[in-house]
Structure 1
Amino acid sequence: MDRISLLFALFSLLLAGCGLSGGAEYQAGYAARLAGDDDRAFEHYLGAAKSDDYPEARYEVAAMYLEGRGTRQDTGQAISWLTRVADADDPQWSLQAHRQLGIIYRGDHGEGYRDRRKAAEHFRLCAGLGDAGCDRLLTLLTPPSLRVVAASSESAASGLPAVNIYARHASSVYKIVVYEQLGAGLEPISVGSAIAIDPYRAITSYHLLQAGGVPVSIDRRTDTDAVRESDVQVWQVTRVDPRRDLALLTLAEPVRELNFTNTMSPFDRVRVGEKVFAIGAPAGLDKTLTEGIVSALRTENGVRLIQTTAPITYGSSGGALFDTEGRLIGMTIKGVQAWGNFNFALSMDEVQAFLAE
């Protein structure tokens, strides 16, 4: 018999036949859990949960109902116990309960319990109790979107200088390297760019990801060349649209919020001949600015495209195309240098439609 099992057996003998207090019930439940006896752990946690003094026991009961450990799986019972914890006066356990209720109502434990309004309310209450992670969950609960911004009468004639466009938006465009597992190490299989559109999500080109792999970026916030662990960003592929060559990425474990840009000008306001600026990672050179003009507006297979002379090459895919006021007008997707300077960007209308689906 191992040490934990022995301690649990002794603890059970000492308490046998006694009417246990809430504290003793909780300790017995904890000892049973350590010993791997979920049935007895549930029994003791349930006993402790009768007391208002042990919100932690009520949270354990809810967790066991939710997971089907030591009792039958019952999400409704889990919600009932979590609600009692959330409504209690203990801020630590109330925070935990609101967070878990938000996750349940987000739909993680069955579509039948999905309720975005309730999920948002619980994440909001959790965030109000000091959990920054719940702020992130609340943001991710809402589909990302772009804001349509009209041209400014003051700057419409001349626009912003290139240096201003770069200073304002370069930090929101990230170089993406997609890695695959190769033996004991990682091997890069594609390089491109991505545009951050809110604190935790970005858009990029689907073709960078179609072979699989894990997208990674580096977000340096200091002037040093050294890469710190906190600078490394690992992304999850949330949604894809091969027809539009679009993908939505979400930070897997964000250390900090992204710098982002989310203002756009729609396709019907883009004019052939207007100056544009591209920011991306051509040939893997991060945050490179190029300029050109809009050469043509095209539709291919029902997808709206902007043809431009702004140079686009390997590594630029997924980068940003801005007008002279710093509004996104496209996401760069391909260049055809073999026959001349023919480069293409996906209209932001297509991105907006993708995000709304």
Structure 2
Amino acid sequence: MTTIPGALNQLALSSARRPRWAALSLAAGLTGWALNAVADIPPPPKFSQAEARSVKGEDLKSTVSVEKIKIGILQGDELGHSRFGWFCVNEQPMVVNEAFLNNYGALITSVTTQELKRLGYPLAGAGKSNAFDTDIAAAPDFRLGGIVKEAKFEICSLNGTAEGWIQFKIDWALYSERLQKVVYQASAEGLGQSKDKITDLGKRAMISSLSNFVAAPEFLQALKAGKPAEVSADGAASASASAASSAQGAAASPNLLTLKGGALAPGGALKNQTALRAAVVTLETPSGSGSGFYIDREGYLLTNVHVVKGAKFVKVKMQNGDKLVAQVLKLNERSDVALLKTPAVELEPLNLRATALDVGEDVFAIGSPLGVLTNSMTRGVLSADRSLQGRRVLQSDAAVTFGSSGGPLLDAEGRVIAITQGGVDAGKGFNFFIPIQEALRSLELSVK
């Protein structure tokens, strides 16, 4: 593994002016020092360091995940200077290059995660019982992100070590999943310095900036104020329905949740498309967007697991432009279906079809392609009712694309027959949908 100081020159030193220290003998080095003198490293700027205290033993419940730190400086920007060898000669300029932009954010992200762990902050993912779970309890309550706004290097390197100083200025932000907004942000400088050649000079600068941020009382207050989500629905104790319980049938489960579905309006899907489209929403998460639809006036929504995976809360955008926040209540990763809940809504939820549809009948898909073409409605036919990899799926040529996942597939009467999952190849008509009754069984739901 490349150490942080060892990576400094690889990431930022102008390669055209890189010295050839490997070819120099000790005698030649001494001669160079005698002729040119030892290069002076300018002193670092004045700096104030706050100490980040450990929170171990404080019974902090809210979990944090660290998003990849972004680089907010431009390629070609000057970073400072690098010198080489025991006598710190041959001063070279350091500039931001492509390697710095591509790799340094991940480096700071890793250091930040390890430091938060050392300080005792609960990290998201610790609640996962095995590598294959999609556990709502393992999703973060908060996300910590940052943008490197300034970086300054005045160092002397030798064999993976460095002396001198490195300074960062990072704009940090703490994002609440429950509130779907940034609850605390601040710009924090960090300084790593040493008069001896050490292996962790860059790491010290990163931790220094993080310490100045988390040492602020507002940071810990925000974490304590953001109570972890109660992942339950009317007493449903399980966050996700297992495949085994799905196979046995939802009716036998003690976690069965009964909802009141929407009424079927006369006239069919085309005549009632305005009301049907109003019940379909756009879902936005840190990783992208998708679709969902209401099945109960109390605010219950269905969508795909892959739309909301890794989140406890998601943004909901209604057709009329209103925005809500939905909590993820239940997941079944094998079936790729999820149950969400917002506050109660003043609209008619979709009616669910209890029987199978014949191949060749008309179907209608509603969703938000690309996350911006909200509530788009496309028409096709049911092409097949088949089994793929041990799961029943419906196939249709009704057009869907990225962002349509999680939306409903309707019959000609306007009843939901399936949930959009995706296609083999965009534009080829090989699109697949999860039968609605399979989805309900997977989530241990009963809809009247």
- Could you tell me the TM-score, scaled by structure 1's length? 0.48
Higher relative contact order (CA 8 A, sep 6+): 2
**Rg larger in 1 or in 2?**
2
